[in-house]
Structures are given as C-alpha cells and as structure tokens.
Amino acid sequence: MQRMPENGQEMDAGDLRGVYMESGISVFIGAVTDEKVKTAAIVERLRGVSGVKEIYELTGNLDVMIFAQSDSLPQINVIVEAVRACSGVKETTTYLVLETTKNQ
C-alpha cells in the first residue's frame, strides 16, 4: 500500500482518502432486489457500472453479490453509489476485501 501525499505533507494514518493499493481495492456488494423486477434486468443494468467485474445471483438473504475493483477508495464509493442507483436494487451492504488467499 502506498500513501499519496497531499500538498507535500504526510497524511494522518486515519485518513484513507489518499490510500491507493498497488493491486487495487476489491469489494463485494451484496444487494437485495425488488421482487417485482426480473433479476436478469437488474444484472444487465449492473453490468454497465464501471468497475463491476463479476455478478452472482444468489439464494438466501441477498439476491445478488457484485464483485468490484478500483485503484482508490473514492472510486469505490462511486461504484457503490452507482450500484445503489440501479433500478430494482432496494438495499446494499458493502464488504471491503482485506486480504485474498488463493487455493492452489
């Protein structure tokens, strides 16, 4: 992880606005959808959101899980807001990926 200085000054450790991750920031966005709207139509809208990499249709408490990536937290916020604005999405919960372990 790198810290990008603002105005040449060192940033406070609690200030995440300037944090950029070398491999990008990943999030899962769980969404509850409107049962009156076809899931396929919602998925098609979500496909148009920049930064969305994968969309999973689920059973259970969440109807859709969206995997998204970006290089900055402000851009992640833009992605989350775009998902929330999609017609048919009623509720979202965002999960920030802290670490990824791949099974070989």
Domain boundaries, the chain: 18-96
Report the first-to-last Cα separation within the chain, whole angstroms. Answer: 25
Q: Give the pLDDT score at 77.
A: 97
User: The whole model's pTM is what?
Assistant: 0.77
Q: Give the pLDDT score at 23.
A: 66
Q: Which residue has the tokens 């496909």?
A: 47
Strands (E), the chain: 2-3, 19-33, 52-57, 64-72, 89-96
Q: Give the pLDDT score at 15.
A: 52
**What would the pLDDT profile of 19-76 be if each residue is shown by its tens digit?**
444 469 999 999 999 999 999 999 999 999 999 999 999 999 999 999 999 999 999 9
Taking 3-state DSSP, the helix, strand and coil percentages for the chain, each rounded to the nearest 5, stand at: 20, 40, 40
CATH class of 18-96: alpha beta
